[in-house]
């Protein structure tokens, strides 16, 4: 039997497998990073704000944010920063 038609596929299969494993590793790493940021956002920002809100119903979220956080905190979603920036 002649298997010459398979030879080009075997050459590139190692390269393709390497690229696929790199992509999977990269996305898994990003997923872990996303989950950590989500947990930090919940534990650090939302829980503290909810606690402050329970103690004082008139708490201003803008003042609370500027006293405790900054725009450089990357675990706080961008939409929250945009909403806080607007009135």
pLDDT tens for 16-34 read 889 999 999 999 999 999 9
**CA angle 49-54-55, nearest 5°?**
100
Model confidence, pTM? 0.61
How far is 63 from 86, CA to CA, in rounded Å? 13
What integer is the mean pLDDT of 51-67? 88
Phi-psi region of 56 (alpha: psi -120 to 50; beta: other; left: phi over 0): beta
**pLDDT value of position 25:** 92
- Range name among 5-14, 23-32, 70-79 with the lowest pLDDT average: 5-14
Q: How many alpha carbons fall within 13 Å on the CB side of residue 45?
A: 20
Under 8 Å between Cβ of 40 and 69: no
């Amino acid at each position: 039997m002649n298997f010459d038609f398979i030879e080009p596929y075997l050459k590139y299969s190692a390269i393709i497998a390497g690229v696929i494993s790199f992509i999977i590793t990269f996305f898994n790493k990003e997923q872990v990073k996303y989950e950590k940021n989500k947990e930090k956002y919940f534990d650090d920002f939302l829980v503290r704000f909810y606690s402050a809100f329970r103690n004082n119903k008139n708490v201003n979220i803008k003042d609370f944010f500027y006293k405790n956080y900054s725009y450089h905190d990357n675990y706080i979603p961008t939409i929250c920063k945009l909403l806080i920036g607007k009135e």
